[in-house]
Amino acid sequence: MDELILMTILNKQHITMKDTQKLIYILLGLPMIIYPFVLLANMMSASGFASKASDLKLFVVNGFLWSSLLYPISYLLALIPSIKKRKYGFTVPLIHLVIVLVFFGLWAYLD
């Protein structure tokens, strides 16, 4: 009897693709909460980074700083397909976050 009640409750709470996309956009928007602090830290890192580093390290550091700086633009541009009811507009900020994480990982590895 309890299993029957549980099954009817689960069937009534069917999660649609639209709900999943909203959840993904919310999760991808969470980095925007800390963005003012990231912007300040990026400005301090850019001004204080030693230019005597190798070209690869300089590329990785600048790549991380610029990619993390431009994330809000990527996120806002991804909202346009969402407003127009198109699927998979969230891939742009998702790819952008992966790029930021790759640059951060490389920077941590090169230090």
Residue predicted with more confidence, 57 or 14: 57
Neighbouring residues of 103: CB distance < 8 A, sequence distance ≥ 6 = 60, 63, 64, 67, 68
Q: Which residue has the tokens 């993904």?
A: 24
- State residue 102's pLDDT score: 93
- State residue 6's pLDDT score: 46
**pLDDT for 42-83, tens place per residue?**
888 877 766 677 888 888 888 988 888 888 888 888 877 766
Report the helix count and the strand count for the chain, using DSSP H and E.
6, 0
- The token duo for 98 is 């992966």
CA distance 75 to 30: 11
Average pLDDT over residues 101-110: 90
Quick one: which H or E segment has residue 6? helix 2-12
105, pLDDT greater than 90: yes
* Predicted structure pTM score: 0.67
Q: Report CA Rg, the chain.
A: 20
